[in-house]
Structure 1
Amino acid sequence: MIRKRLIGVWLVAGFLIFAAGVFWLWRSDVNSSLVSYQSDKLNPSIFSVTDFFTEYENPSVDICSHDMLGGITTHHQQASPLIGQFFKCLAVSTYPKTVVLIGPNHYHRGSRGVVLASQAWDTPFGILEPDIEAITQLAESDLVEINDNAVSQDHAVGLLIPYLSYYFPEAKVVPMLINYSVNEAQTEKFQQFINRVLDEHTIVVGSIDFSHYLTSAESNVMDGETNEIVRNYKLDEIYKNGDEHYDSAPGLYIILSLMKQKNARTETIAHSDTSEFNGVSSYVTSYFNWVFL
């Protein structure tokens, strides 16, 4: 009888140890800086629970209450609270069926200037489906390649995917990376392809970081010039600048060209740089949260 009781005690103890181990592993995953969510035949997304739910200051209610045509935010993981602020504002009164997500091709993956992903995305909030019809139309451009591996490995897209899934669970996505080598003429031609897939239920989101490798004071000067370009749709100025202003001249050109055609008004809901998040002002990346109304 005593032996049976001992066996029962050991079984219970073993189960508790096993459960504690599973819980510890789960907590380790959740609290790691970046967690990649992936299942078979799904693209992975990048997710940090701490960063995702860290609050940033609330933007103007007057701005966020408008139906948006799109906007621009960062893809810097350190500035995740800014990404959250952007999508939280966008989701107040905007209910897209499709989100065209445009970012720079950081690692030059793929063989063409524009790389799209056509598979669904795995996120902690569920599966985010691609807009296959729109992707198929864009693939008619000779500038485009479908390459899920290239797109899914770039944080310009992967970091923003969970926000799309969380704030727009019913929407589909058209994620693309644009190489730095795409020139102004190619960009102008490709934006015409994007324009064909835009309707009243589609928004355009730019995943773009701004001034790089400067001090915070120097960065503010560059950002002032960039702000002039964006707010006044100075398309002819975009390709004159490099990383000291922004990391995707092609992406910025496409977004501003599309918004200009829609007579959109630009509103700034946040402007910051890495010094706000890490306290170091000698070598920063800057950020804007812009929305187009």
Structure 2
Amino acid sequence: MFCGAVSCEKKQETAEPVFFHTWESLGDLPGKTASAPVLHRPPQDAVPWAGTVSHHILADRLIDAWFRELAARRTVSVFFILSPSHWGLSTERFSLTAGSWRTGSGDVRSNGTIVRDVSRKLDVSGDDRVFAYEHGVSTLMPYIARYFPEAEAVCIAYTGDAPLNQPMAEKLTAALSPYFSEKSKDDFFLLISTDFSHHGGRETTAANDAKTEHFFAEPSARSWYAVVCDNVPGIYVLARLLPPRTRSCILYHTDSYRLSGEQEDDITSYFFSYFWE
């Protein structure tokens, strides 16, 4: 059956897997928009293990370039994608799925073993319906399939807006921390699916982005509070998992007005970043 604009297909027997559509599998290709200059690339020997990426298809060219840069630097076995739950469909505090995503380059599968482990630690069961609609995840899957065709995913969606629910964010941090220890993080990548300042004009957007830039300049467990975005728990988890010697860079910084030339009074901003040691 089909359910939703970014739809899912589920076979009659519940034991069989769930498949979610993406913009690419539905033939809804991105329109042409402006690009943005590269601000900073990591050093040649840097191996990023985490980063922030927009989930607005308006930023298609930059999302593609971000994944292409990452693929030139490392392989990834599993992407842990932390996403806001945009439509209020989550039936539990954390939504997870063992489903797969259809793309033009093949399917991106969930890692069922890790999904079960993380679900147990978060005390939740599967919440498939959320991912039939969640563009914070589905937007990114075609790029993963394109540049990391063997990679699997572990996707977690939750209420992303401020104020932070710190007990919830601490529980998520504890569930993910074993996968981002010194020994294990070589196989995994922590992908924070987030857009930053929302619904402001140019002055408000610039002021909010100036606050956010403090986190990228000095990433730490203390600087997360400065970030203005739609995925505050994701930024918190990232900040809590950062080793003391972490470095970061902003590959691209732009916004919806600069990319499209439209809606000057309703701007969303984008930071594409990497973190490494």
- The TM-score with structure 2 as length reference comes to 0.82
Pair 173,283 (structure 1): closer, same or farther in 2 beyond 3 Å: same
Check conservation: 2:83, 2:194, Cα contact below 8 A. Answer: yes
Check conservation: 2:196, 2:271, Cα contact below 8 A. Answer: yes
The question of 1:46 aligning with 2:29 is answered no
The question of 1:191 aligning with 2:177 is answered no
How do 1:75-224 and structure 2 match up within 5 A?
Answer: 75-180=55-160, 183-198=165-180, 199=184, 200-224=186-210
Q: Secondary structure of the residue that 1:288 maps to in structure 2? A: strand
**Which stretches in structure 2 are left out of the alignment for 5+ residues?**
11-17
Equivalent residue for 1:266?
A: 248
Q: Secondary structure of the residue that 1:261 maps to in structure 2? A: coil
The whole-number CA distance in structure 1 between the counterparts of 2:210 and 2:96 is: 32
Task: Show CA shifts across 1:110-138 (max 9, x none).
Answer: 22221111112211110111111111110
Task: Show CA shifts across 1:126-154 (max 9, x none).
Answer: 01111111111101124534212212311
Q: Report sequence identity in percent.
A: 21
The whole-number CA distance in structure 1 between the counterparts of 2:211 and 2:223 is: 10
The whole-number CA distance in structure 1 between the counterparts of 2:82 and 2:196 is: 15
Check conservation: 1:71, 1:289, Cα contact below 8 A. Answer: yes
How do 1:242-253 and structure 2 match up within 5 A?
Answer: 245-253=228-236
Q: How many angstroms does 1:212 deviate by?
A: 0.7
Q: How many angstroms does 1:283 deviate by?
A: 1.7
Q: How many angstroms does 1:51 deviate by?
A: 2.5
Check conservation: 1:63, 1:267, Cα contact below 8 A. Answer: no
Q: How many angstroms does 1:43 deviate by?
A: 1.8
Pick from 286, 290, 293: which aligns with 2:269?
286
Pair 274,143 (structure 1): closer, same or farther in 2 beyond 3 Å: farther
Note the aligned Cα RMSD (angstroms).
Answer: 2.6
The whole-number CA distance in structure 1 between the counterparts of 2:65 and 2:32 is: 10
Q: Secondary structure of the residue that 1:126 maps to in structure 2? A: coil
Q: Secondary structure of the residue that 1:187 maps to in structure 2? A: helix
The whole-number CA distance in structure 2 between the counterparts of 1:265 and 1:130 is: 29
Pair 180,93 (structure 1): closer, same or farther in 2 beyond 3 Å: closer
Check conservation: 2:19, 2:101, Cα contact below 8 A. Answer: yes
Larger radius of gyration: 1
Task: Show CA shifts across 1:198-231 (max 9, x none).
Answer: 3221011111000011112221111111111243
**Which stretches in structure 1 are left out of the alignment for 5+ residues?**
1-34
Check conservation: 1:56, 1:85, Cα contact below 8 A. Answer: no
- The TM-score with structure 1 as length reference comes to 0.78
Check conservation: 2:52, 2:273, Cα contact below 8 A. Answer: yes
The whole-number CA distance in structure 2 between the counterparts of 1:44 and 1:216 is: 34
